[in-house]
Amino acid sequence: MSNASYKTLSALPWLTVHAVRFCQLAGLALAMTVSSVEAGEGDWDQWRGPQRDGAWQGNLPETLDELALAWEKSLGPSYSGPVTNGQAVFTTETVDESLERVTAFNMETGAVLWESEWDGAIVVPPYAAENGSCIKSTPALGSGSLVVLGMRDELVCLDQTSGEQRWKVDLADRFAARRQTFGGVCSPLIDGDAVYVMGGGGTVKLAIDDGSTVWRTLADEGEDDDALSSPIIASIAGIRQLVVQTRTRLCGVELEKGSVLWQVPIQAYRNMNILTPTVIGDRVFMAAHTGRSQCFAVTFAEGSWTVEEVWNQKTQGYMSSPVADAQTIYLHSKAERLTALDVETGAIRWTSKPVGKYQSLVRNRHAILGLSSRGELLLVKADPQNLVIQSTRQVADDSWGYLGVFDGGLLVRDLTSLKVFRY
């Protein structure tokens, strides 16, 4: 949209203030010659990174002293993690307790490329007020779009280059479901021409081009139909599938038709299952809130799926999803400690002192990088036998957005700002 088109559109009486703001910034974006760039295979383009497992194939800093602040922007509150397509950084915020906004920033300079906003705030119940009523969902990039779930269970699809709204679906209205008590917190997943998200009282697959419904499943949770987790796609027993943690069960879902392939109950306090499932080969790991850590072997033979518990042990999860390699699961527990668990047996190899209520974890072959809820970065050697803390550094204030990574840098979102560091 050019500046000329903005002038024409802004003269039309039916445009809202929000639309005018969008048009103005969209014109600015194109004036800055921003080209359309699709997120690459290695870009941190969604919840927990390219594969939604916290894994990063590139380098991490050898010491946190290397980090240099490239730019910083003040923002309203958000629990969303920042994402990038390599050219722009995208983040969300709640504005004046009444609007939800996505802003795209130039990766190099921090200049605003566009903003898009909509009415979308809610007020969570008093017992959940500690974590606020601000937007929680981390956007996903794909097929030229950005998709994010608002707190009112509205799934919004924006053009990645201009910020223009392509479509918006009220999931609660479409599926005659109640609005989620804690708001829409699931981070959507884009795969090819489809979007997967937990909302509207179930798990749904929508077409990326127009938001039409492809299927809906796992819609029988009763009073516990709020979604607190986010799904992943993984190959288990050689079959690519959606892996979903509902409030009460861990499931594998067939991608094309939405049929449930396998499922197993997961017990948690008030059914507060929050973590994203961790898939390690044909095993799936979950750690429940005030429950236990469990590892399951999932197999498929003679047309039938089997789920067998390999081990369970006492370490409890809370809100921090783990990272893992073939031998070790690195979990930040409800006890606020980083813990190394053996994949085969569940044995605790080591555990740290308390390192904050929440940790967003990123790993490569050599190291684990954690950003705590109190804004401290922790660099730990990826050693299954010994706890080796290589470096720590205070980089932010209260931070609940998932740490983002790009080639030679970090994306840090705390409650009041977005920071880009380079190393």
Residue 13: the pLDDT is: 32
Residue 166's alpha-carbon distances to 34, 157, 397, 423, in angstroms, are: 19, 5, 34, 36
| Domains of the chain from N-terminus onward | 230-317 (2.40.10.480)
Q: How confident is the model at residue 372 (pLDDT cuts 50, 70, 90)?
A: very high
Distance of CA 10 to CAs 7, 13, 22, Å? Answer: 5, 8, 10
The mean pLDDT of 183-208, rounded to a whole number, is 98
Q: Does the pLDDT of residue 282 top 90, yes or no? A: yes
- Give the start-end residues of each E strand in 229-327: 232-236, 239-245, 249-253, 260-265, 278-280, 283-287, 293-301, 304-313, 323-324
> Tens digit of pLDDT for each residue in 254-281?
999 999 999 999 999 999 999 999 999 9
Report residue 422's pLDDT band, with 50, 70 and 90 as the boundaries.
Answer: very high
Question: DSSP characters for 361-396?
Answer: EEE-SSEEEEEETTSEEEEEE--SS---EEEEEE--
User: Whole-angstrom Cα distance, residue 379 to residue 127?
Assistant: 33
What pLDDT does residue 54 have? 99
Model confidence pLDDT, tens digit, residues 17-52: 344 344 444 444 443 434 455 666 689 999 999 999
| Residue 318 to residue 335: CA distance in whole angstroms | 9
- Region 137-164: what's the mean pLDDT? 98
**Angle (deg, nearest 10), helices 17-31 and 3-10:** 170
Distance, CA of 318 to CA of 12 (rounded, Å): 50
Mean pLDDT score of the chain = 91
Lowest mean pLDDT among 16-30, 250-264, 278-292, 341-355: 16-30
Q: Which residue has the tokens 């008093």?
A: 126
Residue 209: count other Cβ atoms within 10 Å of its Cβ: 13
Q: What is the pLDDT of residue 168?
A: 99
Q: What share of the chain is helix, strand, coil (3-state, %, to 5)?
A: 10, 45, 45
In degrees and rounded to multiples of 5, residue 161 shows phi and psi of: -85, -40
| Predicted TM-score of the model (pTM) | 0.91
Residue 312's region, left for phi above 0, alpha for psi from -120 to 50, else beta, is: beta
- List Cα–Cα distances, 209 to 57, 156, 168, 395, in angstroms: 30, 12, 11, 39
Q: pLDDT-derived band of residue 355, with 50, 70 and 90 as boundaries? A: very high
Sheet holding 249-253, edge to edge: 232-236, 239-245, 249-253, 260-265
The answer on pLDDT for 4 being more than 90 is no
DSSP secondary structure, 321-351, as one string: PPEE-SSEEEEE-TTSEEEEEETTT--EEEE
Give mean pLDDT, residues 319-333: 98
Helix (H) or strand (E) holding 4: helix 3-10
Q: Which residues of 17-28 are buried (b: 16+ CB within 10 A; e: fewer)?
A: ebbebbbbbbbb
